[in-house]
Chain A
Amino acid sequence: MKKSVLLEIEQLSKSFGGVHAVQNVSFCVRDQEIVAIIGPNGAGKTTLFNIVTGILPPTSGSVLFKGMPVTGKKPYQLAALGITRTFQNLQVFTNMTVIENVMVGMHTRLKTGIFSAGFRLPQVFKEEKQALKQAMACLEQVGIAHLAFEKADILPYGTQRLVEIARAAASQPSLILLDEPMAGLNPQESKKLVDVLLAMRNNGMTFLFVEHDMETVMAIADRVIVLDYGKKIAEGCPEEITQHPDVIKAYLGEEEGASC
C-alpha cells in the first residue's frame, strides 16, 4: 500500500478483573481507508474503541496516531489531534438542537474562551457565524439540514445516529470511529449512510467502524478485522474474511478452544 499509516495499534490488551476483553490485538489503519471490525457480541469491539479514543486506559500495549504515541491521552486531547467517534448507545445531546449538537462537534476548531464569550468580543460573533455555516454544511452532508433547529430529543433513532455522525465529522478529523453506525437504521437509511460515508472518504476522511450488518461491511470496507473473545482471529479484504475458516467457526459458534 502506498498510503501512509494513520493509526497503529500494537499488542493492545485490556482486562476487567478476570475478563480479558481485548488481548494482544495489533493492526493498523491507513489514510482514507475504511476498516471494519466485526465479531460476535462481547468480542471486545467497543472496548477497543474505548481504548483508542482514550476513554479507557489499556492494560498493556500502545496506540500510535500519525506516528505519535497517544496511549494515555484524554479523549478531548485525542479529539484535538483528529480522532472522534460515535457511540453504540446513542449519546446525542438531547438538551440541545441538532445544529448545536454539530457545533459542539466543532469545539476544537473554535477558539472563544469564557471571557471573550462573556464580553462578547467582536471576533466571537464572526466565529459563531462561521461555525453555523460549517455546521449547516455538515448537516447537509448527511442529509438532515432541514432538521437543524429541532430539539435533538424529538428525533427518531435513525436520525439521531445521523446527528452523531455529522457531529463527529464536524471538526474534520482525520479518523472517525463509528460504533455500529447502522444499528437501528432502516434499509433506505443505511443505504444513504453508506453513500455518505463513501463520499466523506473521498473527501479525505478515514473510518474505523464496528458493524454487525455484513451487507454494509461488504459494501464499504476495504479491510475487515475479526475479533473473537478479545483476540484478533483474522484480517483481510471482505471476500477473504467470509471464506476464513476461523471466522465461520466463530460466527457459527462451534466448539471453541481451537481458535488461533
Chain B
Amino acid sequence: MKLDVKRIHTGNAKWSLLFTVLLLGLPLIFSTNNYLLSTLIMVGFYTIVSTGLTLLMGYAGQISLGQAAFYGIGAYTSAYLTAHAGVSSWLAMAAGAAIAAMVALIVGIPAFRLREHYLALATLGFGIIVFTFFKEWKGITGGLNGFFGIPPIQLFGFPLQTDFQFYYLVWIFALIGVLFARNIVRSRVGRALLSIHGSEIAANSLGVNITKYKLQIFMISAVYASVAGSLYAHYVTFINPDLFGIVPSIYFLIMVVIGGTGNVWGGLIGAAVYVCLGELLKEMVPMFIPNAGGEFEIVFFGLLLVIILIYMPNGLSHSLSKVLKRVSSTSRHRKEPILVAENENAGSVGGEH
C-alpha cells in the first residue's frame, strides 16, 4: 500500500488545469465581444473577493457581513493615490492591501472574541461605519458624488485600457488567488482553519492558536478584497460609496454560499453564477414583468440564498466536484489503489478540497 499525499487532497488537478486553459484562451476566440469580456472581468473581480471570503467562511467558519468595506478600502486607496498623489498603480494597490490588512487586524482583535450572531453584527457594524466614512470624507473620496478620473493601471509603462488587456490582468490575479488559497487549505494551516470550524475547543486543546488563525485568515481575506477593489477602481475609473455598502457585502456572501464552502473553486463558481444570473435577470425580468424596476432581481438572489442553504448547504462546487469525480473515476477506476478495503461505499470517499 503506497501512501501518497494526493490521497488527502482529492481535488482534480486535471479539471482545474483544463478550466484554466479554457479561461485564458477564451479572449483569443471572442476578442471582439466586449460584452462577454466585460462580464467575465466582473466575474474576475468578484472571484478574488469571494475566494478570500471562502477561506474565512467556508474553511474557518467565521462569518463576515462587512467584506465590501475592504473592497472599498482597496478601491479608494488606489483611486486617491494614483489620481491625486501620482503614486504608481502597483504601489497604490500594495498600499491599499496593507491598509486593509491593518484595518482587519484592528477590527479583528476584538471582533473574533465574538461568535456567531455577535460576530455577524460586529462585522455588519464595521461595514456600515466604513461605508459612512466613504460617504462623509468628501475631501478624499468625493462623497456621494463619487470619485472621477481614476487613471488606468500601468504595466511596464503601458496603460492597460482595453477589455482584452484587463481580462488577462484580472484573471491572472484571480487564478493566483485561487492557487494561493488552494495551497493554504492543503496544508497545516488549512487543517487548522477547518478544525476551528469543526470544534474550537478541540482545536485549541490540540495546539491550534485559534485567535491567531482567525486573524490571519481575516487579514488575508481583506487583502483579497482590497486587491480586487484596486483593480476594479482602475477598470471602471469612477467609483462611489454605494458600491461598497452593506448590500455589496451581502452579495459577496451570496457568492460564497452559492459557490459553496469547503472548496477553493467555490468563490469562482459563486461569482460566475451571481454575475451571469444578474445579467440574465436584467434581460428576462422586463420581458415578463414590464413595470418592475431593475432592483427587482434581488428577490431571485434572496430566494436562491434560502433555497441553496436549505437544500444544498455545501453549495454548487460541492455537487460539481462530485460529478467531476464520478466522470474521471469511471475512466480510471481500476487503477486506483484500493486503500479502503472493507468499505462498501468507497465511491463517496475523500475530502472535498
Residues of A within 8 A of B (CB): 53, 55, 74-76, 78-80, 84-85, 87, 91-97, 99-100, 103-105, 107-108, 110-114, 117-120, 124-125, 127-129, 131-133, 136, 146-150, 164, 167-168, 171
Contact = CB atoms under 8 A, between A and B. Distances in A.
Contacts of A84: 205-207
Interface in B154-182: 180-181
Contact of A107 (B192, B262, B342): B192
Given A96-B191, A96-B195, 8 more contacts: A76-B209, A79-B206, A84-B206, A105-B206, A114-B217, A147-B340, A149-B350, A164-B202
Interface of B: 3, 5, 7-8, 180-181, 183-184, 186-192, 194-195, 197-199, 201-210, 216-217, 220, 262, 339-343, 349-351
Contacts of A87: 201-202
Contact of B188 (A75, A127, A150): A127
| SS of A interface (majority) | helix
B222 to A, nearest CB: 13
A97 B192 CA distance: 13
A94 B208 CA distance: 17
5 contacts: A79-B204, A93-B199, A146-B340, A146-B341, A167-B206
Contacts of A119: 180, 183
Report, nearest first, the 5 A-B pairs whose CB atoms are least far apart: A93-B198, A79-B207, A91-B202, A117-B187, A108-B207
A87 B181 CA distance: 31
Nearest to A96: B194
Contacts of B197: 93, 95
B207 A76 contact: yes
Contacts of A93: 194-195, 197-199, 202-203
A92 B181 CA distance: 24
Contacts of A76: 204-210
A79 to B, nearest CB: 3
A151 to B, nearest CB: 8
Contact of A110 (B188, B204, B216): B188
A55 B203 contact: no
| SS of B interface (majority) | helix
B351 A96 contact: yes
A91 B197 CA distance: 11
B260 to A, nearest CB: 13
A171 B205 CA distance: 12
Contacts of A149: 7-8, 339-340, 349-351
B192 A104 contact: yes
A159 to B, nearest CB: 12
Contact of A85 (B183, B205, B208, B350): B205
Nearest to B192: A107
Contact of B351 (A75, A97, A127): A97
A108 B209 CA distance: 10
Given A128-B187, A149-B8, A107 B204 contact: no
Instruction: Indicate the member of A108, A112, A136, A168 with the most B CB atoms within 10 Å.
Output: A112
A133 B203 contact: no
Contact of B189 (A74, A112, A132): A112
Contacts of A79: 204-207
Nearest to B195: A104
A17 to B, nearest CB: 21
B180 A128 contact: no
A97 B199 contact: no
A171 B349 CA distance: 26
Contacts of A113: 189
A129 B198 contact: no
B188 A131 contact: yes
B205 A107 contact: no
Given A96-B194, A119-B183, A146-B340, A55 B188 contact: no
A103 B329 CA distance: 26
Contacts of B262: 95
Given A107-B206, A114-B220, A125-B5, A100 B340 contact: no
Contacts of B349: 149-150
B219 to A, nearest CB: 9
A79 B203 CA distance: 10
Contacts of B190: 117
Instruction: Indicate the member of B3, B188, B192, B339 with the most A CB atoms within 10 Å.
Output: B188
A98 to B, nearest CB: 10
B187 A112 contact: yes
Instruction: Indicate the member of B5, B181, B186, B217 with the most A CB atoms within 10 Å.
Output: B5
